[in-house]
Amino acid sequence: MGVSRALLRYLVSLSLIIHAAVTTANFFKPFNVSYDHRALIIDGKRRMLISAGFHYPRATPEMWPDLIAKSKKGGADVIQTYVFWNGHEPVRGQYYFEGRYDIIKFVKLVGASGLYLHLRIGPYVCAEWNFGGFPVWLRDVPGIEFRTDNVPFKEEMERFVKKIVKLMQEEMLFSWQGGPIIMLQIENEYGDIESAYHQRGKEYVKWAAQMALGLGAGVPWVMCKQSDAPDNIINACNGYYCDGFKPNSPNKPVFWTEDWDGWYTKWGGRLPHRPAEDLAFAVARFFQRGGSFQNYYMYFGGTNFNRTSGGPFYVTSYDYDAPIDEYGLLSEPKWGHLKDLHAAIKLCEPALVAADSPQYIKLGPKQEAHVYHVDTNTEGLNLTQYGSQSRCSAFLANIDERKAAVVRFLGQTYHLPPWSVSILPDCRNTVFNTAKVGAQTSIKTVEFELPLFSNISACQQFTVHDEVSYFSKSWMTVKEPIGIWSKKIFSVQGILEHLNVTKDHSDYLWYITRIYVSDDDITFWEEKQVRPTLTIDSMRDVLRVFINGQLTGSVIGRWVKVVQPVRFVQGYNDLVLLSETVGLQNYGAFLEKDGAGFRGQIKLTGFKNGDIDLSTLSWTYQVGLKGEFSSIYTVEENEKAGWSDLTVDAIPATFTWYKVYLSLNMG
C-alpha cells in the first residue's frame, strides 16, 4: 500500500500491471489462412469468429494484458485494431513505436494469449481520431490529394503500409510465421466518399487493392463498406445490423468488421447507450443468416489521450458504451450477456461450418428459423444421429418488436420473446435467447473526493467522504496571458490558415493586430447608436475575440459565419483573435482541403469610412498557450509556474489554470 501525490489531471485510471511472458515469435504452430464463400479457413478449417475491437493507443501498455484477457474470457477469438499512422510517424520518415504506440508488443501480447489479430492498417482509419489518423504533415506534401488517384498520396500511403507489413513480417507475426495475424484491412469505409472522386475514386480502389495484395502478407485483406472491392479482397459490412448484408461476390464470406455496440460522444452531447439485448439480437441474427466473422466496435473503447480526439468536438473519453468500459472494468450486463451469447454460438460452430448455407423455414408472419445441418433438408431429419457432435444447429427468430410468439419447430413448441433469437445448438434445446439476460447487472460507483467550494457549483454535486486522507487546503491558480507570451512570434500581412501555422502542435493560434479608431468613428457610432461588427465568412471550431485584453465574444461551430458586435475606444485598440481546434476533422472527402480557422472575407464593418478588410492588415502570430508549452500540467514542471492561492474574488478570469493536490490511496 502506498500513497502518491498526483495532479488531478492524471487521476485517470488504475490498472493491474501484468508482466506477460512475451517471447520473440511462434505463438502458434504456423498456419495458413484463406477463405471461401462461407468463412475464414484457418489451418484448413472453416471458423465462426467473434472479434473484440480495441485500439492499443486508447489504453496504456499496462492495461493491455488485462484487456486482452477480459476479451478472451468474454468469448473473443480475435482482437481487432486499427493502425494509427499519425502516432507512428509524427514527423515524416521518423517512426515511433514506443509506449502506447508499441504495436509490436501489443500484437505479441495478443499472440501470447492465444487470440488471433485482425490488423486494419488503413492507413486512413477515421476512428474519431485526430485527422482520421493522417499525420498533419501529409497536407504539406506538394501536389497531394488524399484518398484518390494521386501520385504523391499513393506514394506516401504505400510507404507506410509497406512499413507496417514489413515490420509484422520481421517480427514473425503473421499466421504462416506462427504469429496471431490472420487478416488485414486496406482503406476504410471509402465507399462512403468514393462518388466525390468520380472515376479517380474507382481507380484508387483498384490501386489500393493491388498494392495491398502485392505486399505478400500471406493473409486475406478486407475493405469495409466497399461494394466495388476487387476480387481477392473481402468487402465487409459496418453498421448496427448486418444480417442482411451480401458481399459483392458469391465466393466471398459474410463479414461484419464493425458492429456498433454504442457510439462516441461529443462535447455537450448525450451519452449513447445500446442495450445488451438488442446487441445480442443483432449478433445472433448475423450468424443465423450466414455471417461468420463479427467484430464489436468497440469491445473496449478507452481514452483519447493527449490530443488524439478527432472531430470536431469529440470528447476525451472513447468509452463507446462498450462491454469493457473506459477504465477497463466489465460493463454489465453487456459483457456477461455477450459472453453467454458467444458460448451458445460456439456450441453451434460444428454445424455452422459444416453447412454451406442455412435452410430457411418460415415459422410465422414475423418468425423464422435458419437450420444448419449437413443433410439436404429437414424432412425426416434424424436428430439423434448427430449426438453430442451437434451437427444440426438452429436459430429461431421473432423479429416482431412488440409481440411474443409461440412457434412450432421440428415437432416442438418454442416461446419467443419480442425482438429475440433463440439458439438451439442441437436443433432441439434452447440454450440462449437474446432477450433474456442472465448476466448480473452491476452498478458501478465512482466516488469523487474534492475540496468543497461553496462558490463553485460544479463541485457541489460531489460528496466529501471521510476516507479521504489528504488534499491541499485550496485550489491554486495561474493566469494564462492573452496573446503574445513567447519570442517565437512572427508578423505578416494577412490572415494565414490555422493549420499552416500551428502544424497541429497546439490547438491554439493567436492572431494579434491593432485597430485605430478615430474620434469621428466614436461620434458616428454614438449618433447612429450602432456598434462596429467583426464578420468572418466561415470559421471552425472555436473563436474567442479579445479587445484590449477583455473577452468580447466566443463562437463555436464547424464552418459557421461570425457576426460579432465589438466595442472600441478612441485611439489604438488591441484586437486579438484566438482560433482553437477541438479535434481535427476525421471523416469526409477532401480532408486535406478542410483545414481549420478562418475562411473567406474577414472584416470590421460599421466604420464611418467604410469596412476595414482585416486581411490587409499586419498580424502577429503566436502558436499555443504558455502553460501548455511549459507543461504546466506535469508533475515535473508545474512548480515553476508561479501559482497563487485561489481566492473567492479571483475565481472568474478568462484564461486560468487551476490545480489541487490530492492523495491517491493505491491499495
Positions marked active-site: 189, 258
Please check whether residue 574 is in contact with residue 512, taking contact to mean a CB–CB distance below 8 angstroms.
yes
Q: Of residues 9, 16, 26, 140, which one binds ligand NAG by CB under 6 A?
A: 140
Q: DSSP letter for 185, please.
A: E
Q: Which stretch binds ligand NAG (CB under 6 A): 30-38, 152-160, 165-173, 195-203?
A: 30-38
Q: Between residues 80 and 177, which has the closer beta carbon with respect to ligand NAG?
A: 177
Side-by-side strand order, sheet with 45-47: 33-35, 40-42, 45-47
Q: Which of 454, 461, 493, 529 binds ligand NAG (CB under 6 A)?
A: 454
Check if the beta carbon of residue 536 is closer than 8 Å to that of residue 571. no
Residue linked to cell 471552425:
540
Per CB under 6 A, does 648 bind ligand NAG?
yes
Q: Minimum distance between the CB of residue 651 and ligand NAG, rounded to whole angstroms?
A: 8
The reply to whether 574 sits near ligand NAG by the rule CB under 6 A is no
637 binds ligand NAG (CB under 6 A): no
* Angle, vertex CA 424, rays to CA 342 and CA 36, nearest 5: 65
Least distance in Å: CB of 383 to ligand NAG?
Answer: 8
Give the pairing type, strands 78-82 and 49-53: parallel
The set of cell numbers assigned to 216 is 505478400
Q: Does position 378 bind ligand NAG by CB under 6 A?
A: no
96 vs 207, beta carbon nearer ligand NAG:
96
Which range in 17-25, 26-34, 392-400, 529-537 contacts ligand NAG by CB under 6 A? 26-34
* Residue 157 to residue 146: CA distance in whole angstroms: 9
Choose, by CB under 6 A, the member of 94, 199, 376, 384 that binds ligand NAG. 384
Backbone angles phi, psi at 321, to 5 degrees: 55, 35
Backbone angles phi, psi at 62, to 5 degrees: -65, -30
What's the CA gap between 579 and 159, in Å, rounded? 34
Contact map string, positions 99 to 138, toward ligand NAG, x by CB under 6 A: ----------------------------------------
Told to check if 31 binds ligand NAG by CB under 6 A, we report: yes
DSSP state of 387: G
Q: Using CB under 6 A, count the residues that bind ligand NAG.
A: 16
Residue 32 vs 663, nearer CB to ligand NAG:
32
Q: Which is nearer to ligand NAG, 140 or 356 (CB)?
A: 140
Residues linked to residue 516 through DSSP beta bridges, in sequence order: 572
Distance CA 316, CA 62 (A): 19
445 part of the interface to ligand NAG, by CB under 6 A: no
Smallest gap, in angstroms, from Cβ of residue 508 to ligand NAG?
16
The amino acid at 660: V
Q: Which of residues 165 and 345 has its CB atom nearest to ligand NAG in the complex?
A: 165
| 316 near ligand NAG, rule: CB under 6 A | no
Nearer to ligand NAG, 538 or 573 (CB): 538
Among 4, 23, 377, 385, which residue interacts with ligand NAG (rule: CB under 6 A)?
Answer: 385
Minimal distance, residue 368 CB to ligand NAG, in Å? 26
DSSP-derived 3-state class of residue 40? strand
Distance CA 309, CA 562 (A): 25
Nearer to ligand NAG, 176 or 661 (CB): 176
Q: Which stretch binds ligand NAG (CB under 6 A): 296-304, 328-336, 378-386, 534-542?
A: 378-386
Residues 6+ apart with CB under 8 A from 261: 274, 279, 296, 297, 298, 299, 320, 321, 322, 323, 334
CB 65 within 8 A of CB 310: no
CA quadruple 518, 524, 526, 530: dihedral, nearest 10: -110
- Which residues, 283 to 312, sit near ligand NAG by CB under 6 A? 306
Which class for 54: exposed (0-12), middle (13-18), buried (19 or more C-beta within 10 A)?
Answer: buried
User: Which residue stretch of 196-204, 258-266, 380-388, 577-585 sits at the interface with ligand NAG (rule: CB under 6 A)?
Assistant: 380-388
Q: Cα torsion at 489, 495, 497, 503 (round to 10°)?
A: 0
Q: Does 26 bind ligand NAG (CB under 6 A)?
A: no
Q: Cβ closer to ligand NAG: 521 or 580?
A: 580
- Rounded to the nearest whole angstrom, what is the least distance from the CB of residue 265 to ligand NAG in the complex? 21
Stretch near ligand NAG under the rule CB under 6 A, chosen from 27-35, 111-119, 258-266, 461-469: 27-35
Is 30 an interacting residue with respect to ligand NAG (CB under 6 A)?
Answer: yes
Report d(CA 505, CA 277) in Å as an integer.
Answer: 43
Q: What mask of x and - would describe binding to ligand NAG in positions 158 to 197, judged by CB under 6 A?
A: ------------------x---------------------
Query: 367 vs 393, which CB is nearer to ligand NAG?
Result: 393
Q: Which of 584, 588, 586, 585 is nearest to 192 (CA)?
A: 588
CB nearer ligand NAG, residue 44 or residue 268: 44
Cα dist. 250→186, 235, 247, 259, 647 in Å?
A: 21, 12, 7, 22, 71
Query: How many angstroms separate the CA atoms of 93 and 513, rounded?
Result: 37
DSSP annotation of 51:
E
Nearest approach in angstroms of CB 495 to ligand NAG is: 9
Residues 582-601, mask of contacts with ligand NAG (x by CB under 6 A):
-------------x------
The b-or-e profile of 266-287 (16+ CB within 10 A means b, else e) is beeeeeeebebbbbbbbbbbbb
**Where does this chain touch ligand NAG (CB under 6 A) — which range of 28-36, 419-427, 435-443, 602-610?**
28-36
Pick the closer one to ligand NAG by CB: 460 or 500: 500
User: Which residue shows C-alpha cell 486494419?
Assistant: 120
Q: How far is the CB of 87 from ligand NAG (least distance, A)?
A: 7
Does residue 500 touch ligand NAG according to CB under 6 A?
yes
Residues 66, 102, 192, 497: which binds ligand NAG (CB under 6 A)? 497
* CA distance linking residue 125 with residue 296, whole number of Å: 16
Cβ neighbourhood burial of 613 (10 Å; 0-12, 13-18, 19+): exposed
- The nearest distance, CB 426 to ligand NAG, in angstroms, is 14
* Comparison of 522 and 664: residue with beta carbon closer to ligand NAG: 664
The span from the CA of 41 to the CA of 39, in Å, is 6
Q: Which residues bind ligand NAG (CB under 6 A)?
A: 30-32, 140, 176, 306, 382, 384-385, 454-455, 497, 500, 595, 634, 648
